[in-house]
Structure 1
Amino acid sequence: MPDIAVGSQVFDVAFHPAESILYTGLLNGEVNAYRYDEQGQNEHVFTVKPSKKSCRALETDADGSRLWAAGKGKGIYTIDTSTHKVIESRKNAHEAPINRIKRLLPYMLASGDDDGVIKLWDPRKPDAIRAYTQHFDFISDFLWLEDKKHLVASSGDGTLSVMDVRANKTEPFAHSEDQEDELLSIVTIKDNQKVVVGTQLGMLSIFNRKSGWGDCVDRVPGHPSSIDALCSLPSAYPSAHSTILTGSSDGLVRAVQLFPTKLLGVVADHGEFPVERIKVDRAGQGRWVASAGHEEMVKLTDLKEIFEDEDGEGAEGQEEEQEGEAFGAEEENESDEETEAPQVAEVEEKERETRSSDEEGEDSDAPRERKRKRKKEKDPLAAGRRKKGKNEVVAEPSFFADL
């Protein structure tokens, strides 16, 4: 697994949408660019330091010609990626340190700060288009819903808010109830119909857009620590519509499938360092996933090595073979048969004796005994014994031993 040493703690990462270039925002205020090849080998391209204070958030425009950086200095800086220079500075864009930025439309950018204020910007204009103040704690993540032109924001105050950027109102389109936990990250599944939110207590909260934004419709436990980052899987994989990558403060990047819930395995391990950011290159459709924590490096993980077999056969060829097959059902059933409770064994013995005495006079050949297999209930996120699929990795039970 290639690692990129950056020399300072990483706060955010961003990929060029079309080229193999990774950008990092660092604690010392630097923005570094690295070019990588198909083997993950990398070289440093340029370093820009738009502010003396930490760079917490990065975002690129649609073609990658512009890179926006923001952070503790409260300003938003535009970097020309071809000349490697800061071409525009919006100093004091917020009254509090900026925690997240998100490109929404070709001429619209959103930023959220530590006080919960969200602002919309037109890069062509010096002042903000609109400001929203429905949150009172830090903005942790943004999600853009293209079909409705809605911006969804998660906050440390325990609520989600939805803003219709086409409206001129400063009130949100919808605002959830207090979820009684810090909301740290957001991603969509099921063709953008469901929204998954990572929380401080390690719970995945599921919101259904058709049911409204008032409250979550489901909660998925399993992570032993806070879920600080979420990311979608590239759509080329057959389970991408329900599989996400989760970054937790226990240092692990996991691949988790929802509905049904399965822990597919660990994608990257940062040891004792919490995972703060996860991004997939090529606008989320590439093969490399970058994960960053509190250490002074970024891990690049090749998704092909994890979700595809050695022969190069893609995950799609596995979909039909595994259709209808339960997660590790065959091996679990065999294990259950060997370790059945004594009470169940006694009942089955009596049934066999009764059946044998009833059928002895009817047929000279004794009937073949049929083994009964009991299927025990499984913890959806528990990583037990199972058959390894071509597009999966095997996880150890210790991942959720603390639960």
Structure 2
Amino acid sequence: MPHLLSTGDDEGVVKLWDPRKPDAIRSYTQHFDFISDFLWLQDKKQLVATSGDGTLSVMDVRSTKTEPFAQSEDQEDELLSVLAIKGGTKVVVGTQLGILSIFNREKGWGDCVDRVPGHPHSIDALCALPSSYPSAHSTILTGSSDGLVRVVELLPTRLVGVVADHGGFPIERIAVDRGGQGRWVGSVGHDEVLRMTDLKDVFEDEEPGAEGKGGDDRDSSDEEEKGGDEEEDADGKEDALGQQLAGLKRAKSEDEGGDDEDGKESVVNEKDDSDAEDSDAPKPQKKKRKKEKDALSGKAKKGKNEVEADSSFFSGL
């Protein structure tokens, strides 16, 4: 609202103010402990307040009633910070125990629908990422009492990393420049220092790592493909080498057989040995033959019967 602001005090009183008037326009007293944070819902013109009494309340500023539009049940923990995510459909609340409580506006404000643990200390401040980042609708910045500003992705939950460190001093507030659309995030804490962090540098440092990881995967896949090609080339070379060896063996066999066709047939086909033995012509000695065969010695096959001829029988004739 252009001429409306709100305040919350240590007694749990919420007041609406118009700077043009000296007194508060309206006061709400539904809380009995300190008011820790506010969230403005533009679509419904509603103001959400979190309190140390463990509850949050929703006030419709257009109504003249001093009672809240809705109030949650006791969450049994101090509620310290509040932020809208998922286009305003869900609300995240930081607690004293380091748990992020998620409320679904469609299901009402009675109780949270999910709890996300993980922070070792209280979550005192919450801030949204600029919409220029792809995951801005579900990624938030959290400021904890341990002095660390973290980037947390919700639904699904994942700790992206640490953005800033205040040296162990609790963080009170986090804000992004240019109405939440800039690249710089400022955080203040008990160390009395305003720390400015370039979000673009932080996320660009992570993106190249992811790309590098992907590049490693691509390199490994290329190496695998290259290795596969090398294996195929090796297989092809082995096949070619085998063929060459087979050709050399055949050529060697032909060379060793000489010009004698009977000798060649004896090397290539052992079944034709009987035909070679029937020949009376003298046969030259072959390199690979163990001994010279006598045409009248050995076994002569005639069908299934075998006749043994002794050479000494013919020597006396």
TM-score of the two chains, using structure 1 as the length reference: 0.51
Cα distance per residue 1:306-339 (max 9 Å; x no partner) = 112599x9xxxx9xx9xxx9xxxx9xxxxxxxxx
- Output one character per residue of 1:66-92: Cα deviation in whole Å (capped at 9) or x when no partner: xxxxxxxxxxxxxxxxxxxxxxxxxxx
Which residue, 64, 78, 82 being the options, matches 1:186?
A: 82
- Residue type matched to 2:10 in 1? D
- 2:38 aligned with 1:115: no
Question: Paired residue for 2:179?
Answer: 283
Q: Which amino acid aligns with 1:294?
A: H
In the TM superposition, 1:354-369 aligns within 5 A as none
1:228-266 per-residue CA deviation (whole Å, 9 max, x = no partner) reads 000000010000000000000111100000011010000
After superposition, the C-alpha distances for 1:110-137 in whole angstroms (9 at most, x for unaligned) are 1110000000011111111110000000
1:218 aligned to 2:102?
no
TM-superposed deviation, 1:225: 0.3
Higher percent of residues as strand? 1
Aligned to 2:261: none
SS in 2 for 1:206: strand
**Structure 2 counterpart of 1:149, from 16, 24, 45:** 45
| Residues 1:132 and 2:23 aligned together | no
Partner SS for 1:308: helix
**What's 1:163 paired with?**
59
SS of 1:283 mapped into structure 2? helix
Q: Residue 304 of structure 1 corresponds to which residue in structure 2?
A: 200
Structure in which a larger fraction of residues adopt helix: 2
The aligned amino acid for 1:153 is: A
Corresponding residue for residue 234 of structure 2:
none
Task: Tell me the distance in 1 between the aligned counterparts of 2:122 and 2:138.
Answer: 21
Q: SS of the counterpart of 1:229?
A: strand
Count matched residues: 212
The structure showing larger relative contact order (alpha-carbon pairs under 8 Å, at least 6 residues apart) is 1
- Alpha-carbon distance in 2 for matches of 1:197, 1:111: 19
* Paired residues for 1:39-54 under 5 Å: none
Q: Secondary structure at the match of 1:191?
A: helix
2:103 pairs with 1:207:
yes
Q: Indicate the residue corresponding to 2:287 in structure 1.
A: none
Query: Which structure 2 residue ranges, 5 or more long, are not aligned?
Result: 218-317
Alpha-carbon shift at residue 296 of structure 1 (Å): 2.0
Could you tell me whether the CA contact under 8 Å between 2:148 and 2:168 is conserved in 1? no
Q: What's the % identity of the aligned pairs?
A: 77
CA distance in 2: counterparts of 1:121 and 1:298, whole angstroms: 28
* Amino acid paired to 1:127: D
The partner residue of 2:159 within 245, 251, 263 is 263
Report the residue type matching 1:274 in the other structure.
P
Match among 181, 188, 191 for residue 295 of structure 1? 191
1:169–1:265 distance in 2 versus 1, CA, 3 Å? same
**Bigger CA radius of gyration:** 2
What residue is the counterpart of 1:242 in the other structure? Answer: 138
AA of the residue aligned to 1:194: K
The whole-number CA distance in structure 1 between the counterparts of 2:135 and 2:58 is 27
Q: C-alpha separation between the residues in 2 aligned to 1:119 and 1:299?
A: 31
Q: In structure 2, which of residues 117, 124, 142 is the aligned counterpart of residue 228 of structure 1?
A: 124
**How much has 1:215 moved relative to structure 2?**
0.3
